[in-house]
Copies of this chain bind each other. A is one copy, B any other.
Amino acid sequence: MALTDVIEATRTAVAEDPFHAGAAFGAQCAAVSGTDTRVRVRIRGHEQTADETVARGGADTGPNPVEYALAALGSCQVLTYQVWAAKLHIQLSSVSVEVSGELDRRGFFGLAEHARPGFTGISVRVWLDGPESRERYEQLRQEVDRHCPVLDLFRAETPVGTELR
């Protein structure tokens, strides 16, 4: 199904009943026994591994959790560029994104009250290729940044509840 069809099908379904706009996602994560840092991740049929680098006590069998967070942002930006280029009829022949983020590890380790555990700042550099003008791609960037789910998740507050079962 082409992206323009997905956009049109979503518009029609939501116009019929806003309830159709709801979508639920999930992930299951478990410590691999016998290791301190390896985590088995299941997302529907997809299996992934998270781990720490050797310098941080792991075996580097996969990206670490904060790297997965940056990958989520980068891949969400790429997909949002594709969808919004289709929606706005902007030609786009390639899109790539580099995400980097900085942490103060005193936050995670509880070594300084003022240090937050999460990223202190993240930057996203975007390369677009295609026949449109710089201005048109700049308009596209602004629409993408208004509608990218993971960018919104990072930039704004999101209610997250945790509970022990």
Contacts and interface: CB of A to CB of B under 8 A. Distances in A.
A11 B105 CA distance: 10
Interface of A: 1-3, 5-7, 10-11, 14, 18, 21-31, 33, 36-37, 39, 41, 43-46, 48, 50, 52, 54-57, 60, 62-83, 86-87, 93-112, 115-128, 134, 137-138, 141, 143, 145-165
Contact of A148 (B29, B31, B117, B141): B117
A86 B57 CA distance: 12
B107 A79 contact: no
Nearest to A140: B164
A153 B145 CA distance: 18
Given A107-B149, A127-B165, A141-B162, 15 more contacts: A3-B37, A11-B109, A24-B101, A25-B100, A66-B153, A68-B72, A110-B146, A121-B161, A123-B160, A124-B163, A126-B163, A126-B164, A137-B164, A141-B164, A155-B160
A133 to B, nearest CB: 12
* Copies of this subunit: 2
Given A23-B103, A52-B79, A108 B147 contact: yes
Contacts of A67: 25-27, 43-44, 46
Contacts of A82: 31, 36-37
Contact of A22 (B14, B104, B111, B159): B104
